[in-house]
Amino acid sequence: MLPQQFKREHMAQVLEGWRAAAAQVARPVAFMEVCGTHTVAAWRSGLHSLMPVTVTLLSGPGCPVCVTSQGDIDGMVELAGRSGVTFCSYGDMLRVPGKKGSLEQARSAGADVRVVYSALDAVGLAARQPRRQVVFAAVGFETTAPASAVAIQEAQRQGLTNFSVLVSHKRIVPAMLAISSGASPGGSSGGPSGGGGGGLAQVGIDGFLCPGHVAVIVGAKAFAPVVEECGLPCVVAGFEPLQMAQGLARLTELVRDKSPVVENLYPQAVTEEGNARALELMDEVFCPAPARWRALGAIADSGLGLRREYQDFDAAARFGLHPEEAPEPVGCRCGDVIMGRCRPVDCAMFGGACTPVHPIGPCMVSSEGSCQAWFKYGEGLH
């Protein structure tokens, strides 16, 4: 049998088991895929078109661009526009609109904005141009934070005084807890979360498909509090369509069996304890700190702050930046999407006023954003 044919038959078996389990649950269930890469994989592979009809897949807060608060984005754009500053960012961040435009627009107006693929690239840039202040926008979850830590330590080792970091890192588990416990609904940022559409308002979540990449770093056991505090099953899964389907089928079985546990279906990459070296690096440079999330508002210990011995690299302090909390765009329901309160298509602006070419909210900007994935791969089929 050809490997492809084997895969397809295996997939058919998994789908059959999943449909049977979904039928046994005898009510609609909704799972949150926390990671943006899962969001895209589910759409790109056509998984949405094959799922049991009673299962809804909602996107969670795992797209780094989508959860960055409006105030943080304004801060980035402001800093990028300062003279003498070279502002380095991951590419996905460039198009998110702030109140004074996006980083991409700042660049076209003359700001020195560079797309980097690793934090160390920004350190290299700082070493090569000692007369410019190089600022790195440190965004992302536990997946990118260790790389930021390495870069900061390297800058310290080289004695670079023209390198700093605008820290906007987030920790995923506190956000999952906030969502599943229904805490801080809508956040305190003043974003209107009822901007139109009805759809799945206030839909409950029956379990989490845990982010595989983050789990590589933090380990499967990091999700135990979600089970303990909220009673929701968590399954760690890989990014192949088959792995995702297996993960979601297993979640359905756990709901059916009323068995809220953490299960790791991605053992080839994820251990119970995580990556000790990466966790150690993160811990050397950062400590848990409060962070402001789009829609979720401020959540205790959900971000990372620089430890005392690395405070010199804090760009916000160096440049006297005090990002104010800014309201989210009027009518934009990205917050509800991230919280699993609605699907992208339930937003009145989806596909009309807000498209990937002219996005209003970050979920339509990011290539891993839920709205962009729904629009790009699903618009017209649903």
Residue 167 host element (H or E):
strand 163-169
Nearer to another protein, 13 or 158 (CB): 13
Q: How far is the CB of 143 from another protein (least distance, A)?
A: 4
Tokens of 64: 């780094």
- C-alpha 48: how far from chain center: 20
Residue of 149, 142, 151 lying closest to 116 (CA atoms): 151
Nearer to another protein, 234 or 354 (CB): 354
Q: Taking CB under 8 A as the criterion, which residues in 139-178 touch another protein?
A: 139-141, 143-144
Q: Taking CB under 8 A as the criterion, which residues in 102-131 touch another protein?
A: 104-105, 107-109, 114-115, 117
> Which residues, other chains included, contact 359 with Cβ-Cβ below 8 Å and sequence gap of 6+?
95, 97, 365, 371, 372
CA distances from 227 to 172, 193, 223, 261, 263 (A): 15, 27, 7, 6, 11
User: Which listed residue (29, 47, 149, 237) binds another protein by CB under 8 A?
Assistant: 47
Q: Taking CB under 8 A as the criterion, which residues in 303-362 touch another protein?
A: 350-352, 355-357
Q: Pick the piece of the chain touching another protein (CB under 8 A) from 40-48, 157-165, 252-260, 330-338.
A: 40-48
Nearer to another protein, 66 or 234 (CB): 66
Q: How far is the CB of 260 from another protein (least distance, A)?
A: 27
Q: How far is the CB of 317 from another protein (least distance, A)?
A: 24
**Distance between CA atoms of residues 105 and 249, nearest Å:** 44
**Distance between CA atoms of residues 309 and 73, nearest Å:** 26
Tokens of 296: 């979720």
What single DSSP character describes residue 310? G
Residue of 367, 368, 348, 364 lying closest to 356 (CA atoms): 364
Binding footprint of another protein, residue count (CB under 8 A): 58
Nearer to another protein, 184 or 355 (CB): 355
Q: Taking CB under 8 A as the criterion, which residues in 238-277 touch another protein?
A: 239, 241-242, 245
Note the residues at the interface with another protein (CB under 8 A). 4, 7-8, 11-12, 36-37, 40, 43-50, 64-65, 90-95, 104-105, 107-109, 114-115, 117, 139-141, 143-144, 213-214, 239, 241-242, 245, 350-352, 355-357, 367-368, 375-381
